């Protein structure tokens, strides 16, 4: 278990290659990266100044759980998550990093976010209302908001360095990475989602949609990379209160969003702090997602 909350890391002896909204990524050597999940939380695309205790730990443990569970579908980038198995420069910072870090194989990441949707929500719902389609998939008429789709669909998007990702069609993915790799990423993404969805559904969580990233290792082998099926990369809904025809409460961030909506904040950075009880309730939701999905306490 990690010792305390952590909003940001900086280590003079490790090279920072990227600071994302939630994770700090370091280069360990030519072949491996260290991905550190902090306790940062974002809402409405802004990072809040308040940490969510144990969030980094939940994201790390959940990704590890899914890597293991879905390992028969595709290989993944995980090398180690226990401090004892990490190289010395990482172990030196064990106090900060334990429980929230993954040593991973560095991959050549495909420039595509492999989104899979099983339900009609978010930008998918918006596009459907306007055009009857989502990313080139023609859907039946008369579907309601949050409806379960007849079958999950692959709805890729660009990986924007800045700003928002943009939905693209499978044809556009083919232009980017070729037909063969496109089919491989699509089929693998659909298999991963379908298996995870069915598993989670039995445990009272609906995985409405999710985003995978893939890369090639040095030998050209396909790897599932990044984080996998966490509340940050997916929409989790409590299955008990699921009801099509309206938007669904989000499993993890609903308290944060609800609180922020009561403020007179224009949703531009800097984001306001959230009260202690809202942060605590959010920690409880992350832990509950972990417990429901894995059947274990973290």
34, 58, 70, 104: which one binds ligand ADP (CB under 6 A): 104
Stretch that binds ligand ADP, among 2-10, 47-55, 99-107, 116-124 (CB under 6 A): 99-107
Cα(17)–Cα(24) distance, integer angstroms: 8
93, 106, 235, 253: which one binds ligand ADP (CB under 6 A): 106
Stretch that binds ligand ADP, among 67-75, 106-114, 125-133, 175-183 (CB under 6 A): 106-114
Nearer to ligand ADP, 33 or 152 (CB): 33
How many residues are present in the chain? Answer: 298
Nearest residue relative to ligand ADP (C-beta): 20
Nearest Cα residue to 137 out of 167, 92, 101:
167
Cα(83)–Cα(63) distance, integer angstroms: 17
| Minimum distance of ligand ADP from residue 70's CB (angstroms) | 16
- By CB under 6 A, residue 78 contacts ligand ADP: no
Q: How many residues bind ligand ADP (CB under 6 A)?
A: 17
| Minimum distance of ligand ADP from residue 293's CB (angstroms) | 20
> What residue has token string 């949050």?
146
Nearer to ligand ADP, 19 or 126 (CB): 19
119-158 residues in contact with ligand ADP (CB under 6 A) are none
Stretch that binds ligand ADP, among 1-9, 98-106, 164-172, 268-276 (CB under 6 A): 98-106
| Minimum distance of ligand ADP from residue 98's CB (angstroms) | 19
Nearer to ligand ADP, 28 or 107 (CB): 107
Cα(180)–Cα(23) distance, integer angstroms: 31
Stretch that binds ligand ADP, among 89-97, 104-112, 180-188, 240-248 (CB under 6 A): 104-112
Positive or negative, the CA dihedral 56, 63, 246, 47 is: positive
Alpha carbon separation from 205 to 94, 237, 265 (Å, rounded): 33, 6, 31
209-228 residues in contact with ligand ADP (CB under 6 A) are 213, 215, 225-226
Burial of 174 (0-12, 13-18, 19+ CB in 10 A): middle
10-49 residues in contact with ligand ADP (CB under 6 A) are 18, 20-23, 25, 33
Tokens standing for residue 276: 């202690």
| Minimum distance of ligand ADP from residue 222's CB (angstroms) | 12
Nearer to ligand ADP, 77 or 100 (CB): 77
Question: Which residues in this chain contact ligand ADP in the complex, by CB under 6 A?
Answer: 18, 20-23, 25, 33, 77, 104-107, 109, 213, 215, 225-226
């Amino acid at each position: 278990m990690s010792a305390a909350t952590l909003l940001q890391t900086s280590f003079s002896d490790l090279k920072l290659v990227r600071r994302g909204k939630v994770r700090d990524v370091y280069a360990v050597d030519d072949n491996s990266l260290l991905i550190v999940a902090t306790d940062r939380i974002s809402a409405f695309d802004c990072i809040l100044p308040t940490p969510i205790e144990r969030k980094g730990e939940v994201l790390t443990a959940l990704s590890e759980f899914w890597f293991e569970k879905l390992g028969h579908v595709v290989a993944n980038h995980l090398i180690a998550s226990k401090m004892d198995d990490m190289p010395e420069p990482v172990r030196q910072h064990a106090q900060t990093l334990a429980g929230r870090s993954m040593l991973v194989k560095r991959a050549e990441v495909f420039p595509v976010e492999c989104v899979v949707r099983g339900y009609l929500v978010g930008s998918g719902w918006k596009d459907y209302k306007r055009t009857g389609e989502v990313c080139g998939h023609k859907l039946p008429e008369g579907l309601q908001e949050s409806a379960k789709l007849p079958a999950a669909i692959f709805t890729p998007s660009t990986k924007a360095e800045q700003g928002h990702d943009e939905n693209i069609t499978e044809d556009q993915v083919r232009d980017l990475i070729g037909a063969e790799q496109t089919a491989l990423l699509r089929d693998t993404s659909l298999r991963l989602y379908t298996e995870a969805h069915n598993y989670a559904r039995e445990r009272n969580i609906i995985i409405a949609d999710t985003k995978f990233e893939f890369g090639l290792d040095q030998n050209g082998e396909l790897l599932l990379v990044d984080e996998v099926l966490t509340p940050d990369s997916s929409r989790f809904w409590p299955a008990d209160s699921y009801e099509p025809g309206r938007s669904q409460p989000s499993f993890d961030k609903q308290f944060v969003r609800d609180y922020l909506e009561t403020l007179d904040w224009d949703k531009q950075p800097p984001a306001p702090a959230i009260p202690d009880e809202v942060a605590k309730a959010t920690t409880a939701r992350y832990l509950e997602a972990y417990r429901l999905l894995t059947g274990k306490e973290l």
